Structures are given as C-alpha cells and as structure tokens.
Amino acid sequence: MKLIVGLGNPGLKYAGNRHNIGFMALDRIAEDHGFGPWKSKFQGVISEGRFGSDKVVLLKPETFMNNSGQSVGKAMRFYKLDPQDVIVLHDEIDLAPGKVRVKSGGGHAGHNGLRSMHAHIGDTYQRVRLGVGHPGHKDRVPGYVLHDFAKADQDWLEDVLRGLSDGAAHLAAGDSGKFMNAVALRVNPPRSSTSGKGDSAPDAKATPAKTTPEPDADTSEPRSALQRLVDRFR
C-alpha cells in the first residue's frame, strides 16, 4: 500500500496558489482514476482507490502547510506504514515552471511543509518536486507561493497535472522512470517527423521515370541524300 500526500493549504482562499499544486495533483489523480469521495480523517481529507490490485490512499493535510507532518504521521500509524511507503507531492521554487523531479531522502531546503514532514516521520520518504519557478529574491518567496498561478501558467500547469495523473500508477509501483516518461509525454510531447507540406510535396526518394523517344523522332541510321530525295516522292 502507498500513501500519496499532496501538500497545500485548506480553503478556497488558497485553492489556486502555487503552494497548493500538491492538492491540485491529488484532485486530478482521484478524478481521473475513479477514487472514492474525499472524507475527513487524520486532520485532513483522504480518498481511497486502487491501481490494479494495489491499494492507494491520497491524503491532503488540512493542518496548513507548516504542520503537514502531523496529519501524515497519523495516517502512517493507522495504516502501519513505513516512511518509504509515503510519496509527497509539493511545490518547488528551485525548479523552473513545468519541471518535475523525483527524489528520495535529503533535506527540506527551507520548505516548511517538508520541514514538518521531517520532524514527524523522518526524511526517507519519497517526494515529487513540482517546479513553480522562483520570484528572483528570497524575500519575495512567501508572497509568490501564496499567490495564484498566473493565466500564462495555465497551459503548462494543465500539462503537468495530466502527466502526473497518467503516471500515478507507475509512481505508486515504485517505477520512477515510467512515471517521468508519462509526465514528459504531456509536458514535452514528441514532434511529428512528417514534413508538413501536404501531398503536393515532391517525393525525394521517387525513381525518375524513364523517357522514351517522341513518336516522330528519327532514331534510324543516317540516310543518303538520294534516299531522302526518293522518300519525298513516295
């Protein structure tokens, strides 16, 4: 069993914030894969479902970001899980918008949600870092992450959320390679190899047609002047 956690802040006021991309990801996964309705539990809300025969619980802590670990710790103890069974999806200002990275262990890099996770369950859980970009100066970070995504962000954000949902089963199964491939197919789809010039474009590989002499072309051996004169009076 896997516990997949999305970090964010509860309430409509924060719903569209960059800080809430983890919540957004879980909402998309639950909807696309037919998970059960959200219900209150563990100081958060959970949705239960399966990828094949494997049970998965989605958890959105409602303790506010800075105390996310409280909710996750309660869920872990209830389901008797180890930190390695927990996958956390969160915003990452040190990655460009639309970039996604998978990481196990390591520091919290000043992210208050991860700081709380470290305090309550340790640092050996897996995390999916969802790039939202950096405002340019550390003093602007709090206001930046607690602000809604801009309209210009909506296209890449939609692609990322769809990719996360496409790859969710691979993520839960521990196959980060296939998960990242699923995300990449949405964020950076392969380009068509066709020329795009339509049917009128010449085929460079076509074999040139063989030419034949025109019907009135003279291909016989040279004739004498007397023979040509005789031909004129035939």
Instruction: Report, as residue numbers or ranges, the catalytic residues.
Output: 19
Rounded distance between C-alpha atoms, residue 64 and residue 3, angstroms: 18
Rounded distance between C-alpha atoms, residue 191 and residue 57, angstroms: 36
Instruction: For the sheet with 100-104, list strands across it.
Output: 39-41, 44-51, 54-61, 2-6, 86-92, 126-131, 100-104
In three-state secondary structure terms, 71 is helix
**Cβ neighbourhood burial of 38 (10 Å; 0-12, 13-18, 19+):** middle
User: Phi/psi of residue 3, each to 5°?
Assistant: -110, 115
Q: Strand 54-61 and strand 100-104: pairing?
A: unpaired
Q: Which residues pair with 87 in a beta bridge?
A: 4, 126
Structure tokens at 60: 């959105």
Count CB-CB contacts under 10 A for residue 6: 28
- For helices 154-166 and 21-32, the axis angle rounded to 10 degrees is 50
